[in-house]
């Protein structure tokens, strides 16, 4: 029996083939030029599709900016510190929401992690961990998020609202999207448009004691920490490509609260698993 991935590729090939019939010789994936044997073999169709996909992914990649830094574009607030509360997921979520809001509205507003800790309880556990997608879902369904000033951080779990529900929420989102897992190019594509929530393994001593430069490990891919990817670039001197990550351990850690993590590794999961579970909020203009 064919695997789901194989069937997905076959379906995509057939769809492209149908489109190609309409545009005939103007398409590089059409019925024109292929033998009856090619078009009647599922495996051959998938092979043709994979060649087409490789060609166009490479062409698309060349259209992306060589570097992006959302800090320089006014879409990233000051580095924050989660302290002893296991609320990294909330800080990762908020950073991504602050980013897309600034990009769409032109206003950079610091938002409330504490509201997520107290109120985003469907799937999340406050200071004991959570997931960014659940937090995005809460923000979209609850009418938005308060500012950090209106709902300040306590470094511990509180009661949802605490009299703040009457205040209007400052920032809304439409929903969220997941980046295809283990696809670095898809992550870079998303980052070219906005800051992205990502998860990494951060429990290793090399990561925890990072102080500067392009980090290349060692680290595993057992995800245990939520952070925000806020750009990407290259170290021309050493030839390393990297992703710019904002941590939530204060500005005294790393490069003023940030770490540049090497990209372009042979492992699809990415360094410290950064490609495994990325997502970003969406916001209507």
* pLDDT the model gives residue 229: 99
Total domains, the chain: 2
- The continuous run of DSSP H or E covering 187 comes out as helix 184-191
What pLDDT score was predicted for residue 21? 38
Are residues 78 and 46 located together in one domain of the fold?
no
Residue 95: name the closest of 280, 263, 274 by CA. Answer: 280
Q: For strand 214-215 and strand 258-262, is the pairing parallel, antiparallel, or unpaired?
A: parallel
Verify that 114 and 232 share a domain, yes or no.
Answer: yes
Q: Are residues 18 and 86 in the same domain?
A: no
Contact 85, 221 (CB under 8 A): no
How far apart (Å, rounded) are the C-alpha atoms in residues 124 and 219? 26
Mark the ranges of the chain whose per-residue pLDDT is less than 50.
Answer: 1, 7, 9-10, 12-14, 16-33, 56-60
Residues 6 or more apart whose Cβ sits within 8 Å of residue 39 = 17, 31, 45
Of 225, 240, 272, 275, which residue is the catalytic one? Answer: 225
Does 130 share its domain with 203?
Answer: yes
Which helix (H) or strand (E) element contains residue 279? strand 279-282
State pLDDT tens for residues 236-275.
877 799 999 999 999 999 999 999 999 998 889 999 999 9
What is the DSSP track for 145-168?
B-BTTTS---SS---SSTT-TTSP
> How far is Cα 270 from Cα 67, in angstroms, rounded to an integer?
18
**Domain span holding position 251:** 68-282
8-state DSSP, 179: P
What is the C-alpha separation between 226 and 124, in angstroms, rounded? Answer: 13
Q: Which of 101, 124, 247, 275 is catalytic?
A: 247
- Residues 230/248, Cβ–Cβ less than 8 Å: no
Q: Kindly provide the b/e burial profile for residues 251-268, where b requires at least 16 CB atoms within 10 angstroms of the residue's own CB.
A: eebbbebbbbbbbebeee
- Token reading at 48: 């043709």
Angle at alpha carbon of residue 259, lines to 280 and 75, rounded to 5°: 45
Last residue of a domain, one of 21, 46, 61: 61
Of 171, 175, 187, 181, residue with least CA distance to 141: 175
Q: Is 85 considered catalytic here? A: no
**CA-to-CA dists, residue 198 to 46, 58, 103, 244, 249, angstroms:** 31, 24, 19, 11, 16
| Calpha distance 41→212 (Å, rounded) | 53
Measured CA to CA, the distance from residue 242 to residue 247 in angstroms comes to 15
Of the residues 85, 88, 119, 272, only one is catalytic, namely 88
Domain boundary among 19, 39, 61: 61
- Tokens standing for residue 109: 């507003």
Q: Tell whether 128 and 31 lie within a shared domain.
A: no
> What is the domain-level CATH number for residue 276?
3.90.70.10
* pLDDT at 29 (0 to 100): 43
Task: Looking at the structure, tell me whether residues 101 and 40 fall in a common domain.
Answer: no
Q: Are 88 and 150 members of one domain?
A: yes
Name the domain boundary from 39, 61, 83: 61
Cβ-contact 110, 75 below 8 angstroms: no
Residues 109, 175 within the same domain: yes
Phi, psi torsion values for 98, nearest 5 degrees:
-60, -40
Same domain, 179 and 230: yes
Structure tokens at 250: 């204060």
| pLDDT at residue number 100 | 98
Cβ atoms 76, 116 nearer than 8 A: no
Whether omega for the bond prior to residue 218 falls within 30 degrees of 0, making it cis, is yes
Q: Is 88 labeled as catalytic in the residue annotation?
A: yes
210 and 73 part of one domain: yes
Q: Both 131 and 176 in a single domain?
A: yes
Mean pLDDT of the chain: 85
What confidence score (pLDDT) does residue 45 get?
A: 62
Per-residue pLDDT, 19 = 40
User: Do residue 72 and residue 44 come from a single domain?
Assistant: no
């Amino acid at each position: 029996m064919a695997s789901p991935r194989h069937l997905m590729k076959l379906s995509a090939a057939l769809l492209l083939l149908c489109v190609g019939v309409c545009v005939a010789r103007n398409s590089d994936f059409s019925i024109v030029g292929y033998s009856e044997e090619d078009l009647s073999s599922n495996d051959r169709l998938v092979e043709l599709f994979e060649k087409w996909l490789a060609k166009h992914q490479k062409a698309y990649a060349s259209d992306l900016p060589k570097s992006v830094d959302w800090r320089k574009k006014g879409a990233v607030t000051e580095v924050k510190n989660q302290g002893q509360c296991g609320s990294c997921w909330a800080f990762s979520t908020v950073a991504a929401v602050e980013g897309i809001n600034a990009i769409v509205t032109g206003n950079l507003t610091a938002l409330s992690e504490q509201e997520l800790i107290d109120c985003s309880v469907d799937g999340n556990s406050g200071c004991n961990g959570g997931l960014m997608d659940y937090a995005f879902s809460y923000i979209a369904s609850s009418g938005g998020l308060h500012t950090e000033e209106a709902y300040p951080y306590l470094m511990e779990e509180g009661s949802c609202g605490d009299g703040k529900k009457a205040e209007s929420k400052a920032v809304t989102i439409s929903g969220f999207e997941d980046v295809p897992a283990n696809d670095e190019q898809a992550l870079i594509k998303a980052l070219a448009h906005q800051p992205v929530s990502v998860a990494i393994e951060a429990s290793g001593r090399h990561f925890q004691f990072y102080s500067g430069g392009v980090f290349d490990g060692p680290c595993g891919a057992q995800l245990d920490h939520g952070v925000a990817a806020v750009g990407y670039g290259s170290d021309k001197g050493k030839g390393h490509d990297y992703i710019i990550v904002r941590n939530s351990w204060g500005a005294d850690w790393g490069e003023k609260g940030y770490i540049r993590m090497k990209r372009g590794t042979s492992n699809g999961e990415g360094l410290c698993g950064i490609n495994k579970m990325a997502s970003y909020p969406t916001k209507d203009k």
